[in-house]
């Protein structure tokens, strides 16, 4: 174990097993064609019935998996390989600006996705939901482009930290309000490559 880690929350094996289970479940839902995101009111616009006629993606366009940079990269890479369906992938860079360590609550797009989402099933892949601001923003941003459905899967969820209402469709693990790193998650850009998810020692970040 890395010396900066207080304890391991989830081992690489536990993460891999949970990711495979999430992949199976998501694949079933996508294959069934259920409009989970739209039905649950997750900011998805009404299905674009004639997306192709409207200049959107053809009806046969495969689901689009969207990776939120940077933290989601390892989970995204494993999850898409656990979904045995045709998929396309996209990457979006988002950031929150604010004074000091506090988020302003405003999310900015550093790099947007290029693909046309109209009429398509979209799967947003996130590493962690904390305040909920990032995903509330992104769901609204994508809904404006008239997807058929929007689903959100997150490896970790910290429901006790919500500042805005947001409920992911699929959750790997719910965690308490502890400082987690590893499997994509960082402190000052470090620890993303740890194969497990651990709690960072408070002495490292002055907590």
What does the binding site for ligand PRP look like in residue numbers (CB under 6 A)?
68-71, 95-96, 126-134, 186
d(CA 192, CA 177): 19
Inter-residue contact 152 to 124 (CB < 8 Å): yes
Please report how close the Cβ of residue 152 comes to ligand PRP at its closest, in angstroms.
11
**Nearest to ligand PRP of 71, 147 (CB atom):** 71
CA distances from 33 to 28, 63, 97 (A): 9, 10, 37
**Nearest to ligand PRP of 134, 149 (CB atom):** 134
Please report how close the Cβ of residue 179 comes to ligand PRP at its closest, in angstroms.
12
Active site residues: 130
Which residues, 6+ apart, have CB-to-CB distance to 99 below 8 Å? none
Reported residue count of the chain is: 207
Q: What are residue 198's phi and psi, to 5 degrees?
A: -130, 165
Please report how close the Cβ of residue 127 comes to ligand PRP at its closest, in angstroms.
5
**Nearest to ligand PRP of 45, 93 (CB atom):** 93
What does the DSSP 8-state code read for residue 39? H
């Amino acid at each position: 174990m890395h010396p900066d880690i207080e304890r391991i929350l989830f081992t690489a094996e536990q993460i891999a097993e949970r990711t495979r289970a999430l992949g199976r479940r998501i694949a079933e839902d996508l294959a069934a064609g259920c409009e989970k995101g739209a039905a649950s009111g997750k900011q998805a616009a009404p299905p674009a019935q004639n997306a192709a006629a409207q200049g959107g993606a053809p009806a046969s366009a495969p689901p689009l998996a969207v990776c939120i940079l940077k933290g989601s990269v390892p989970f995204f890479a494993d999850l898409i390989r656990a979904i045995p369906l045709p998929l396309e992938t996209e990457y979006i860079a988002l950031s929150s600006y604010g004074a000091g360590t506090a988020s302003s609550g405003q999310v900015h797009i550093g790099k947007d996705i290029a693909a046309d989402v109209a009429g398509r099933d979209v799967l947003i892949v996130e590493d962690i939901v904390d305040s909920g601001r990032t995903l509330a923003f992104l769901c609204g941003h994508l809904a404006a482009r008239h997807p058929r459905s929007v689903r959100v899967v997150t490896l970790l969820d910290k429901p006790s930290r919500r500042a805005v209402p947001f409920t992911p469709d699929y959750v790997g693990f719910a965690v308490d309000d502890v400082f987690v790193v590893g499997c994509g998650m960082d402190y000052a850009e470090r620890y993303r490559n740890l194969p497990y998810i651990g709690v960072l020692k408070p002495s490292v970040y002055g907590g």
